[in-house]
Structure 1
């Protein structure tokens, strides 16, 4: 059963959706900027403690915040975009058409 919305209700729903997406992109930008800054500080600290630059650069501990905060980003992305971020409604149909076209080209 599909519900009919008034124009004002549609506007409010669309506005809320856009605000949620904007919030996600702001969080993503913060994630990248802060983690680059923190990773640089950790790398410089390791180099100052006697590690070579390559050792510091490839040390997992300098990047683990990317991973743990990234888990939160993934959940926020799923909350914001839903599973359609990965598998939208037309995904199966697009894949079927792609494979049919590939089969047709082989002949």
Structure 2
């Protein structure tokens, strides 16, 4: 869950908002998780087909199995799948928790100290 979703969910719990709003938030999160799982399943199926068919062609033909073209789709698509997973499951590797709030406070303090009054 992203920080913004966590804050929104906590606000709903703290202020006893309408259960429908909490349901909608949970529904959106479930849809995002489901989308990731479908993406992962298609990734496995398509790349398994590509690799198995390439292996079969190398067994019965004169094609070489261990070449860049055999695994490039799996590699680049895997990078995209990793990014999708990070966006869904919310690993805050780059900015960390509460980064936005700290940055806003930093800018506010800087603006406060730069005023001439």
| TM-score, normalization by structure 2 | 0.59
Unaligned runs of 5+ in 1: 90-107
Equivalence for 1:22 = 34
Equivalence for 1:50 = 62
Show the 5 A alignment for 1:72-83.
72-83=80-91
2: CA distance, partners of 1:6 / 1:35: 44
Q: Residue 63 of structure 1 aligns to a residue in which SS?
A: helix
Aligned counterpart in structure 2 of residue 69 of structure 1, from 77, 100, 106 = 77
Kindly indicate whether structure 1 or structure 2 has the higher relative contact order, using CA contacts under 8 Å at least 6 residues apart: 2
Aligned counterpart in structure 2 of residue 41 of structure 1, from 53, 75, 78 = 53
Q: Residue 50 of structure 1 aligns to a residue in which SS?
A: coil
Unaligned runs of 5+ in 2: 1-6, 98-117
2: CA distance, partners of 1:37 / 1:50: 19
* Cα RMSD (Å): 2.6
Q: How many residues align?
A: 83
Q: Which of these two proteins has the greater Rg computed from alpha carbons?
A: 2
Query: C-alpha displacement at 1:29, in angstroms?
Result: 0.3
